[in-house]
Chain A
Amino acid sequence: MEKKIILQTKKIGKYFYQPVKFKALDDVSFKVFESEFITLIGKSGSGKSTLLYILSTMDTDYEGELFIGNEKITGQKPNYLAAIRNKNIGFVFQFHYLLPEFSCLKNVMIPALKLGKYSHQEIEEQAYQKLELLGIRDQALKPASKLSGGQQQRVAIARALINQPKIIMCDEPTGNLDSKNTGIVLETFQQLSSEFGQTIIAVTHDNDFAKASNRIIELADGKLINNT
């Protein structure tokens, strides 16, 4: 059965001009299918984070074309891209990047409040569900800054899930966690992908983490060298 394409890149290239002109990405083309769990690996400086930022629509200064679903993303206006991110993409970062003044629950709710598709009450219910799924429902009303690193990362994953995005993108999601929490996060991703059909693209250094994924895309010097 032909799987549905969620994300597709066509000959993506990217230059850095500081300190000297340098080609960070060269002719990168690949497809991502529905409910795949993909890891992007490569040495430091191979361009994997750069590629992720282009996929995330936050970086618009590149060559080639990017499609999410069937829609061409390349060349869209910043405000429209913001709306696309809000609706279609969930983010998980290396440093948890929660808003420290808000409770965990609010942190999870904010992207959904921005989307404005459901009422405040419905969003609160959904946020509780996501926190439940990640096993931190009891922490919901604590300020985000009071949680441990592993717990914060799970809140960040809950936030990434709240708008039922097409794709979750992660930048070194376990880079800052101990092995126990890394295990928890990894299990969560596997569960999301296999049970809920969630598409996940994660940049990682961690070979064990990469091996647990469905497919590994390896970059070296800005070129795609392995796509298995």
Chain B
Amino acid sequence: MKLNVNSEIAYTHLITRKKQTIIAALGVTVGIGIFIFMISLVVGFNRYSDEALFKAEPHIRIYQDDTLSRPLIKQIKPNYTTVIINPKIANLSNTLINPEKIIADLKKQDDIVTVTPQVSVNIFYNNGISQINGEASGVNILEANDMFNIESTMLAGDVRNLLSTSNGILIGVGIAEKLNIQLYDNINITSSIGVVKMMKVEGIFKTANSNIDLTKSYINLAMSQQLMKKSSSYLTDILVNIEDPNEAPKFSKKLQSSTIYKVEDWQAANEQSMSNKKTRQVMFGSISLAILLVAAFGIYNIINMTIKEKLNDIAILKATGFSGKDVINIFLKESLIMGIIGTSFGLLMAAGLIKFVSGIYIGGDREYFPIGYESPIFFIGAILGVLITLGAGYIPAIGAAKIDPIEIFRK
């Protein structure tokens, strides 16, 4: 084995001080391990909560927003004509006009995964004297299933039965319990404009949100139009799923410019959960960065101590022709080696922690802790670990390079 002389010196320093080397590397191991673990935790949890969200919501929703009446004449100049108006919601109907064209246009776009129409109807579920108000979504059940993965939430029945049963309904488990309704029982529903229908329960579902389970149901599109006494061209929403949900705001902006209807992405519709997500990211991010920083100080300390103890050696090296650059090179190599050892074990530690935590049973619809091996995070962790240790070694190394050998020899 032939090393260059700087590497050889760095290597010898490290192995003759095994204990300190191991302690410094261990600091990095813990730092990187915890860093990757925590970030994976956040990413896993965010993915889980997004998934839960997307079982009830599309990435993008297009609907007719309420518009306010405008004054008949404009205020021409300030202080000239005073126009007093009493703005009222001026929608004649909340239907989308020519929705087939919008759907067809959307389907032509590249990043679109699913486009499906929907009619939202406010209804009452009745069984005897008990009554619950809620919202029925009139959908094309196969497309809706593609979008929300309703199938995965089904406790009983089958989503496909809606295809063969025009008055079929899928209800949330909360409604079923409260009204004491079983699969294939009949349920009476009343729409907001007073149309009453007898429906047959073809499925019961349970989402992560008990509030949704207590209000939501799926019915056929035609049935919902009948409940509103409207024709088959009546549609209240167009729901869109795209490839990458994170691109939704960009996409909705693009869509908004080509339609008069309101285009809303899921981020805008869920500001609360978005801000929770951001808080989580900032919180965990800063904690794990702090841990990394502590690890970096460990490296800094060890290198600094090595340099303090090796003043004579550094003076000798400089006297025999090693330049300041060589001295920096030696100590950078030492911290790099410690960093690489520490980081590799840190990756192993993170993998171990993730494996352990992902086995913890938490119940709910997810059952196990929502965490997984996120290769980009491991990659970032590895890069960060090496960079930070290099930085931590560089500062004392510069100091070492500036040591004046004469001062050492004079003592």
- Chain A residues packing against B (C-beta within 8 Å): 49, 53, 56, 58-59, 78-79, 82-87, 91, 93, 97-102, 106, 110-111, 113-116, 120, 159, 171
> What CA separation (Å) do A110 and B313 show in the bound complex?
12
Q: Are B320 and A102 in contact (CB under 8 A)?
A: no
Q: Are B320 and A83 in contact (CB under 8 A)?
A: no
Q: Are A86 and B409 in contact (CB under 8 A)?
A: no
Q: Are B323 and A111 in contact (CB under 8 A)?
A: no
> What CA separation (Å) do A87 and B221 show in the bound complex?
90
With a cutoff of 8 Å between Cβ atoms, the chain B residues found around residue A49 in the complex are: 410
With a cutoff of 8 Å between Cβ atoms, the chain B residues found around residue A113 in the complex are: 4-5, 8
Judged by a CB distance under 8 angstroms, whether B374 is at the interface is no
Tell which of B16, B320, B404 touches A110, judged by Cβ atoms closer than 8 Å: B320
Q: Taking CB as reference atom, which chain B residue is nearest A110?
A: B5
Q: Taking CB as reference atom, which chain A residue is nearest B316?
A: A97
Q: Are A58 and B13 in contact (CB under 8 A)?
A: no
> What CA separation (Å) do A111 and B313 show in the bound complex?
13
Q: 1/0 contact trace for B304-321 toward A, CB 8 Å?
A: 000000001101111111
Range of interface residues on B (Cβ < 8 Å)? 20 to 34
Q: Are B5 and A59 in contact (CB under 8 A)?
A: no
With a cutoff of 8 Å between Cβ atoms, the chain A residues found around residue B322 in the complex are: 82, 86, 114
Least distance between B400 CB and chain A CB atoms (Å): 14
Q: Are A58 and B321 in contact (CB under 8 A)?
A: no
Judged by a CB distance under 8 angstroms, whether B50 is at the interface is no
> What CA separation (Å) do A157 and B16 show in the bound complex?
25
> What CA separation (Å) do A100 and B8 show in the bound complex?
14
Least distance between A126 CB and chain B CB atoms (Å): 15
> What CA separation (Å) do A98 and B312 show in the bound complex?
9
Least distance between B9 CB and chain A CB atoms (Å): 8
Least distance between B21 CB and chain A CB atoms (Å): 13
Q: Are A53 and B320 in contact (CB under 8 A)?
A: no
Q: Are B319 and A79 in contact (CB under 8 A)?
A: no
Q: Are B320 and A101 in contact (CB under 8 A)?
A: no
Q: A79-B324, A110-B5 are in contact. Are A56 and B16 (CB under 8 A)?
A: no
Q: Are B316 and A99 in contact (CB under 8 A)?
A: yes
Tell which of B4, B316, B321, B404 touches A86, judged by Cβ atoms closer than 8 Å: B321
Of the candidates B324, B405, B406, the one having the most CB atoms from chain A within 10 angstroms of its own CB is B406
Judged by a CB distance under 8 angstroms, whether B65 is at the interface is no
Least distance between A33 CB and chain B CB atoms (Å): 24
With a cutoff of 8 Å between Cβ atoms, the chain B residues found around residue A111 in the complex are: 320-321
> What CA separation (Å) do A99 and B317 show in the bound complex?
9
Q: 1/0 contact trace for B338-380 toward A, CB 8 Å?
A: 0000000000000000000000000000000000000000000
With a cutoff of 8 Å between Cβ atoms, the chain A residues found around residue B16 in the complex are: 101
With a cutoff of 8 Å between Cβ atoms, the chain A residues found around residue B410 in the complex are: 49
Q: Taking CB as reference atom, which chain B residue is nearest A93?
A: B409
Q: A79-B324, A101-B16, A113-B8 are in contact. Are A85 and B409 (CB under 8 A)?
A: no
Q: Are A97 and B315 in contact (CB under 8 A)?
A: yes
> What CA separation (Å) do A98 and B310 show in the bound complex?
11
> What CA separation (Å) do A114 and B317 show in the bound complex?
10
With a cutoff of 8 Å between Cβ atoms, the chain A residues found around residue B404 in the complex are: 58
Within 8 A of A (CB), among B1-60: 2, 4-5, 8-9, 12-13, 16
With a cutoff of 8 Å between Cβ atoms, the chain A residues found around residue B405 in the complex are: 58
> What CA separation (Å) do A189 and B406 show in the bound complex?
24
29 contacts between A and B (CB under 8 A): A49-B410, A58-B319, A58-B404, A78-B323, A78-B324, A79-B325, A82-B321, A83-B321, A85-B319, A86-B321, A86-B322, A87-B321, A91-B319, A91-B320, A98-B316, A99-B313, A99-B316, A100-B313, A101-B12, A101-B13, A106-B8, A110-B5, A110-B9, A110-B317, A110-B320, A111-B320, A113-B5, A116-B5, A120-B2
With a cutoff of 8 Å between Cβ atoms, the chain B residues found around residue A115 in the complex are: 321
Q: Are A114 and B326 in contact (CB under 8 A)?
A: yes
Q: Taking CB as reference atom, which chain A residue is nearest B310?
A: A99
Q: A58-B406, A113-B8, A120-B2 are in contact. Are A159 and B321 (CB under 8 A)?
A: no
Q: Taking CB as reference atom, which chain B residue is nearest A88?
A: B321
Of the candidates B8, B312, B321, B409, the one having the most CB atoms from chain A within 10 angstroms of its own CB is B321
Least distance between B245 CB and chain A CB atoms (Å): 55
With a cutoff of 8 Å between Cβ atoms, the chain B residues found around residue A84 in the complex are: 321
With a cutoff of 8 Å between Cβ atoms, the chain B residues found around residue A78 in the complex are: 323-324
> What CA separation (Å) do A100 and B325 show in the bound complex?
22
Q: Taking CB as reference atom, which chain B residue is nearest A109?
A: B5
Q: A99-B316, A110-B5 are in contact. Are A82 and B323 (CB under 8 A)?
A: yes
Known pairs A110-B317, A114-B322. 13 more at Cβ < 8 A? A53-B406, A53-B409, A79-B325, A82-B318, A82-B321, A82-B322, A82-B323, A82-B324, A86-B322, A106-B8, A110-B320, A114-B5, A114-B326
